């Protein structure tokens, strides 16, 4: 995001490779030169001017290969635009028409919908149109207008962020758009992490019949090359979805490279694109967490990370994910046992580090814990012990991790999962202290499944089975277990998914069969924990509704439903 010079350099590198292979047209993702989503950067006139200058540089660099790139353009009105460049100039500029303003999207805050008349370009005799991301999700949107106006292929730059299960549904929808409009579609999606968002790639090419021609892998940058055959029949006749021949004149066409008579002949040796497989749910989510964590760390200038490793499932998973993201040699696990820490927690933590090759150190917090108790003794005199003394231990650990961060330059990764984040089962300025929350959008029950999946990947028992099997505990008092404060996680997560992700009220959850007392208690915990979530670090979004960008609730709120 905002690395305009770096993004232009990447475009140049790819173009140099493609031009040697005689590629007719190259398509890059949405807002290529600045990254997506740029948010309030677009409110800076200088930023927009730099983006426009970058487009001019790319256009001047182009030759025989036509290039589609994205950029912010405009003055008083700003547009999310895609430009088709060829032979040193911008040949076609398209402004996104359907601006998403839901979930993580707020494009209407920044951009004006495009209203310019649609037009096409002819590349090697093929009539080509451009649409951007949301424009092709509507069955009656620009894709329909372009195809009805004579387009034989539509080039679609995208910034489509990941959520679990989206890739398959996206492919089904794109196939339908292509077949419904009898128009080939080249759908190119951004890859990488941007703050909370992960863009999963998975770019696809569909022919006029909605048949898959090529698919790039998920979560990996890829140059996907393919020969797309546009059959002669589509140049002679265009039908609308009802089978009626379309009237002329159709959309205006600018010819940038004319047809060769040989182009109407079947290709002798067409270049077949790779078709990367879809991934299973757990692998998909694991890779999303790895990519989002890696890019947040590296793009923000960190090389090493620190994790407070307790020996529990949450911190264990974070260490394993971090090791895969940046390399085990860049991950530092810190064991901070207290007077209540069990022996198996320490041995499990050490076993994990040895399995992964992660460096670890032990800093016992007992001296600091006792010092704080002594320091506060007069103020606490006559008062019974409660969660104050428990939370003190977590806050000592938070201070310790931040001291290591300051001194050694680590980015601290926090370890709270979505179940705990939902109900506030965390200590503000304690285990919430850090720079990035890797698993904040992962339900506890899903985390167990992910860890079991990770151990099935053929490289041995990475995550000690004892960590997966033992009862979860914060270990802040003797014989403490999570289910003393919360319902069992399968019960808890079912209620939370309904309340947090599906927007059900307490009344609706009770009507669905959940225990009324438990529902009322959990809903209250979620509501009163909003102030904690506002002060917690960002983390990878993998669900349809994550805290922060998706779910935005008032802190001061008496509605209980």
On the CB side of 380, CA atoms within 13 Å amount to 12
Which residue is catalytic, options 30, 107, 152, 284? 30
Asked if 228 and 184 count as a contact pair (C-beta separation under 8 A), the reply is yes
Structure tokens at 421: 């984040």
Expressed in angstroms, the distance from the first to the final Cα of the chain is 40
How open is the CA angle 490-495-498, to the nearest 5 degrees? 125
Say what angle helices 516-528 and 489-496 make with each other, to 10 degrees.
Answer: 70
Instruction: Tell me whether residue 30 is one of the annotated catalytic residues.
Output: yes
Cα separation, 521 vs 477, whole angstroms: 23
Sheet of 126-130, strand order: 212-215, 204-206, 184-189, 153-158, 126-130, 120-123, 253-257
Asked if 229 and 147 count as a contact pair (C-beta separation under 8 A), the reply is no
Asked if 101 and 107 count as a contact pair (C-beta separation under 8 A), the reply is yes
Within 10 Å of residue 267's Cβ, how many Cβ atoms? 11
Cα separation, 422 vs 500, whole angstroms: 8
Which residue is catalytic, options 34, 133, 353, 451? 133
Asked if 361 and 335 count as a contact pair (C-beta separation under 8 A), the reply is yes
Where do runs of H (alpha helix) occur along 381-469? 387-408, 418-423, 444-454, 465-469
Sheet of 305-308, strand order: 359-362, 331-335, 305-308, 411-414, 436-437
Instruction: Tell me whether residue 133 is one of the annotated catalytic residues.
Output: yes
Largest Cα span, the chain: 95
What SS3 state is found at 185?
strand
Nearest C-alpha neighbor of 415 from the set 425, 407, 406, 423:
425
On the CB side of 232, CA atoms within 13 Å amount to 9
Cα separation, 547 vs 541, whole angstroms: 8
Cα separation, 406 vs 434, whole angstroms: 11
In degrees to the nearest 10, what's the CA dihedral of 224, 225, 231, 235?
Answer: 80
Which residue is catalytic, options 96, 127, 287, 330? 96
Instruction: Tell me whether residue 221 is one of the annotated catalytic residues.
Output: no
DSSP state of 297: H
Query: For residue 284, how far is the Cα from the chain centroid?
Result: 11
Within 10 Å of residue 41's Cβ, how many Cβ atoms? 18
Please give the positions annotated as active site: 30, 96, 133
């Amino acid at each position: 995001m905002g690395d305009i010079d770096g993004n232009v350099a990447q475009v140049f590198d790819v173009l140099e490779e493609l031009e040697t292979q005689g590629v007719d047209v190259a398509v890059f993702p949405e807002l290529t030169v600045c990254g997506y989503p740029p948010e309030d950067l677009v409110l800076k006139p200088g930023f927009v001017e730099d983006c426009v200058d970058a487009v001019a540089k790319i256009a001047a660099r182009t030759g025989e290969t036509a290039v589609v790139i994205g950029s912010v353009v405009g003055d008083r009105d700003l547009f999310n635009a895609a430009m088709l460049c060829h032979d040193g100039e911008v040949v076609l500029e398209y402004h996104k028409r359907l601006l998403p303003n839901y979930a993580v999207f707020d494009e209407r805050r920044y951009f004006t919908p495009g209203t310019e008349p649609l037009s096409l370009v002819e590349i090697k005799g093929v009539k080509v149109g451009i649409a951007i991301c949301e424009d092709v999700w509507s069955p009656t949107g620009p894709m329909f207008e372009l195809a009805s106006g004579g387009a034989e292929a539509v080039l679609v730059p995208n910034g489509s962020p990941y959520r679990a299960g989206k890739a398959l549904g996206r492919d089904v929808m794109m196939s339908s758009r292509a077949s419904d409009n009898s128009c080939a579609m080249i759908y190119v999606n951004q890859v990488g992490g941007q703050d909370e968002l992960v863009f999963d790639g998975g770019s696809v090419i569909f022919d006029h019949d909605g048949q898959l021609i090529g698919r790039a892998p998920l979560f990996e940058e890829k140059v996907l090359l393919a020969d797309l055959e546009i059959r002669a029949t589509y140049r002679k006749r265009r039908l609308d979805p009802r089978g009626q021949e379309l009237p002329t004149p159709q959309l205006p066409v600018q010819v940038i490279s004319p047809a060769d008579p040989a182009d109407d002949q079947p290709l002798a040796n067409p270049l077949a694109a790779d078709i990367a497989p879809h991934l299973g749910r757990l692998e998909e989510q694991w890779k999303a967490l790895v990519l989002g964590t890696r890019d947040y760390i590296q793009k923000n200038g960190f090389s090493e990370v620190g994790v407070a490793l307790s020996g529990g499932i949450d911190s264990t998973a974070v260490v394993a994910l971090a090791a895969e993201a940046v390399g085990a040699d860049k991950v530092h696990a810190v064991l901070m046992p207290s007077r209540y820490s069990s022996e198996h927690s320490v041995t499990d933590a050490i076993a994990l580090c040895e399995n992964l090759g992660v460096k670890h150190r032990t800093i016992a917090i007992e001296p600091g814990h006792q010092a704080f108790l002594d320091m506060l003794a007069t103020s606490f005199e006559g008062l019974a012990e409660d969660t104050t003394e428990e939370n003190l231990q977590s806050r000592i650990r938070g201070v310790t991790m931040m001291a290591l961060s300051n001194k050694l330059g680590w980015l601290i990764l926090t370890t709270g999962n979505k179940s705990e984040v939902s109900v506030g089962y965390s200590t503000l300025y304690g285990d919430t202290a850090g720079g990035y929350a890797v698993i904040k959008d992962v339900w506890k029950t899903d985390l167990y499944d992910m860890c079991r999946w990770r151990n099935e990947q053929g490289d041995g028992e990475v995550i000690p089975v004892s960590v997966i099997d033992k009862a979860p505990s914060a270990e802040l008092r003797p014989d403490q277990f999570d289910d003393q404060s919360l319902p069992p996680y399968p019960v808890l997560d079912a209620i939370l998914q309904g309340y947090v992700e599906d927007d059900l009220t307490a009344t609706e959850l009770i009507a669905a069969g959940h225990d009324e007392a438990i529902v009322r208690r959990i809903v209250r915990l979620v509501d009163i924990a909003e102030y904690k979530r506002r002060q917690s670090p960002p983390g990878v979004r993998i669900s349809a509704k994550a805290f922060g960008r998706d779910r935005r609730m008032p802190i001061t709120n008496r509605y209980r439903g």
